[in-house]
Amino acid sequence: MRNLRDIPYINNLSEEEIFNIEVAARVCPFKTNNYVVEKLIDWENYADDPLFLLNFPQKNMLLPHFFDELSDDVRMGNEERIKTTVRKIHYSMNPHPAGQLKYNVPTLNGKKLKGLQHKYHETVLVFPKRGQTCHAYCTFCFRWPQFTGYSELKMGLSDVNVLLEYLKYHPEVTDLLYTGGDPLVMKASTLEEFILPVIEADLPGLQNIRIGSRVLTYWPYRFLTDKDSKELLGLFTRIVRSGKHLAFMAHFNHPKELETEEVQEAIARIRETGAEIRTQSPLLRNINDDPDIWIQMWHKQVELGCIPYYMFVVRDTGAQHYFGVPLVEAYEIYREAFKAVSGLARTVRGPSMSATPGKIMITGTPEIRGEKVIALTMIQARNPDWVLKPFFAEYNRSAYWIDDLTPAFDKEYFFFEKPEMEFEYFIKNLFG
Ligand SMILES: *Cc1c(COP(=O)(O)O)cnc(C)c1O
Ligand code: SF4
């Protein structure tokens, strides 16, 4: 469903509310489906309903001056102006954060490989071309350039042989992470074309196949009643039987997403194949910025046999002014929730920022020799040598991202920003 007015419950909203969503949806791509609308959203209390806010773009997800400009254009019905304004807003929203296009695209024989990203040694991200959409779109999503038709910003792998060739030269890769969009929008037979050849290639270093997906939230029928549900589960079984670890990286933002019979049955079926389900979510203002929500979510996940994996800091892209939670507060929420769950849920790590140098985690706010600071460390890094080195920033309750932080103790740089570090790494990469 892409047309708001086709949704029966939309009559619960005022004409103005509907218009506001229509305006915001010009910027944040909108797509939903009957599972989300009928089983997840509470239409009696839609205004505060997390699933409604996750799926239906809101007026205040745009900065006020942008919203006013765009709503004027929409009222005038001037499609040319609408297009220009939308483009301007999109480019103000940092479409490819963390150097995604600049640093992470790998090359082979001097040619850039579209549809792959290789940032951390062990893991290659695979973006199959036909998986560059989702069953429904999240309003906070940082991958929206892939859905909004900017050709220069689109990614996608169409030929699995490119991946195979690349892996031959990269024996350090243990993990492939199939991502998107959502790779599980693809037919099982299409997904198979991207996975089976890799498994059959008998690459000695390859251990883990990961599939990153939000399908359990948005379309659990993928494992229940879709035409090729059995085939998809069969593919999972084949991956596991081949001796690879299959990790289903499930994306859940709220405990409500785990409550339906459908999602619980889908989780059970995935687990029967021998795949493990690991869960991750960003911490989002207005959606899950409360430790109790995370406690409930992690409890339920462990109960259903899923393994909590990451809590992310929402990226410096898209509607960050609406969804962003400052780093210190994110740490406090994480700690409050972590304190209250058993060790089985403490597999979760965070709050973590996927920033240009790596995944940066906030580990505390200690006072060191009279100076209150933010303690940080990297749990993943472009340069593996940077992992788990503690470093410190000046205490700042209004910082939302690493760029907002200043090194503590009068240092000029964070250790990974030193020009000679960059140079050393550049040289190392140049000569293999
Ligand atoms: C998070 C991430 C990975 C996976 O990291 P793990 O810590 O192994 O889960 C791989 N590549 C990129 C670009 C990532 O952001
Ligand atoms: S499912 Fe993932 S990629 Fe798709 S819109 Fe949501 S966050 Fe973005």
Task: Give CATH for domain 98-274.
Answer: 3.20.20.70
Cis peptide before 181 (omega within 30 of 0): yes
Q: Where are the domains of the chain?
A: 4-92, 98-274, 313-432
CA angle in degrees (0–180, nearest 5) for 276-297-375: 90
Q: Which ligand is nearest to the CA of 210?
A: 1
Q: Which residues contact 73 (CB under 8 A, 6 or more apart)?
A: 81, 82, 85
User: Which residues, given as ranges, of the chain have pLDDT below 70?
Assistant: 95-103, 142-154, 419-432
Q: Which ligand is nearest to the CA of 98?
A: 1
Amino acid 178: pLDDT: 97
Please say whether the dihedral angle defined by the alpha carbons of residues 37, 38, 40 and 44, taken in this order, is positive or negative. Answer: positive
**Ligand 2 pocket test: which of 140, 182, 251, 312 has the largest number of ligand atoms within 8 Å of its C-beta?**
182
Buried b (16+ CB within 10 A) or exposed e, 231-258: ebbebbebbbeeebebbbbbbbbbbbbb
Amino acid 108: pLDDT: 87
* Residue carrying the six token digits 């270093």: 205
**Ligand 2 pocket test: which of 141, 279, 314 has the largest number of ligand atoms within 8 Å of its C-beta?**
141
**Secondary structure (3-state) at 137:** coil
Please say whether the dihedral angle defined by the alpha carbons of residues 141, 147, 150 and 151, taken in this order, is positive or negative. Answer: positive
**Taking the CB of residue 119, how many other CB atoms lie within 10 A of it?**
22
The residues pairing with 307 across neighbouring beta strands, listed in sequence order, are 278
The residues pairing with 277 across neighbouring beta strands, listed in sequence order, are 248
User: Token pair for residue 83?
Assistant: 């297009």
Buried b (16+ CB within 10 A) or exposed e, 190-219: ebbebbeebbeeebeebebbbbbbbbbbbb
DSSP string computed for 21-43: HHHHTTTS-----HHIIIII--G
Amino acid 142: pLDDT: 63
C-beta 120 within 6 A of ligand 1? yes
CA of 73 to the centre of ligand 1 (A): 40
How far is Cα 120 from Cα 377, in angstroms, rounded to an integer? Answer: 16
DSSP string computed for 162-207: HHHHHHHT-TT--EEEE-SS-GGGS-HHHHHHHHHHHHHTT-TT--
Q: Whose CA is nearest to atom 1 of ligand 2?
A: 214
Please say whether the dihedral angle defined by the alpha carbons of residues 329, 333, 336 and 342, taken in this order, is positive or negative. Answer: negative
- Rounded to whole angstroms, what are the CA distances from 167 to 108, 123, 163, 416? 10, 11, 6, 28
The residues pairing with 249 across neighbouring beta strands, listed in sequence order, are 212, 278
Residues having CB closer than 6 A to ligand 2 are 134, 137-138, 141, 143, 180-182, 214, 251
Amino acid 420: pLDDT: 60
How far is Cα 21 from Cα 9, in angstroms, rounded to an integer? Answer: 14
CA 235 to chain centre: 24
CA of 174 to the centre of ligand 1 (A): 12
The residues pairing with 373 across neighbouring beta strands, listed in sequence order, are 394
Q: Whose CA is nearest to atom 6 of ligand 2?
A: 138
Q: What is the DSSP letter of 122?
A: T
Amino acid 132: pLDDT: 86
How do residues 89-112 score in pLDDT, each as one tens digit?
988 887 665 555 666 889 888 888
C-beta 380 within 6 A of ligand 1? yes
How far is Cα 27 from Cα 246, in angstroms, rounded to an integer? Answer: 35
Nearest ligand 1 atom, CA 354: 15
Q: Which ligand is nearest to the CA of 318?
A: 2
